[in-house]
Amino acid sequence: MEVNATAKYMRISPQKVRKLVDAVKGKPAEAGLNTLKFMPQKAAGMVEKILKSAVANASQNTELDVDSLVIKNIIVNEGPSLKRFRARARGRGSRILKRTSHITVIVAEG
C-alpha cells in the first residue's frame, strides 16, 4: 500500500531540491526525518514537512504501521516560474526567473 503527500508551488528551484532528495530516498521514514532535520539547506525543511504529512496520511487514512514506513520515492517536478525584470545597462532589462517546484513524497510499508 502506497501513500503520498504533495506540496505544490513551493518557492524553490527544483534543481536545489533534487540535490538532497537522493540522501533520503529508500530509507525508513524515521531515519529520513532525522537526516533532513540536520541538513542546512532550505529545501530540507520543505521536504521534511511533506514527509511528515505523508506519514500522517498513512497513519490516519489507511491505518498503516508508522514504524515500518519506508520512503519509496520523492518526485520533484518544475512548477510555473515567476517572471521578473532587473534593470541593466543602457536602459535594457533582463529577465529573472523565480522558479517553483511541485514535490511529491511516496511512502510504503515495508
Domain locations along the chain:
2-109
- Which pLDDT score is estimated for 28? 95
Q: What is the pLDDT of residues 69-109, one digit of tens each?
A: 999 999 999 999 999 999 999 999 999 999 999 999 999 99
Q: What is the pLDDT of residues 33-58, one digit of tens each?
A: 999 999 999 999 999 999 999 999 99
* Residue 24: C-alpha distances to residues 43, 49, 79, 90, 106 (Å): 13, 14, 22, 48, 12
Q: Is the domain 2-109 a CATH 3.90.470.10 member?
A: yes
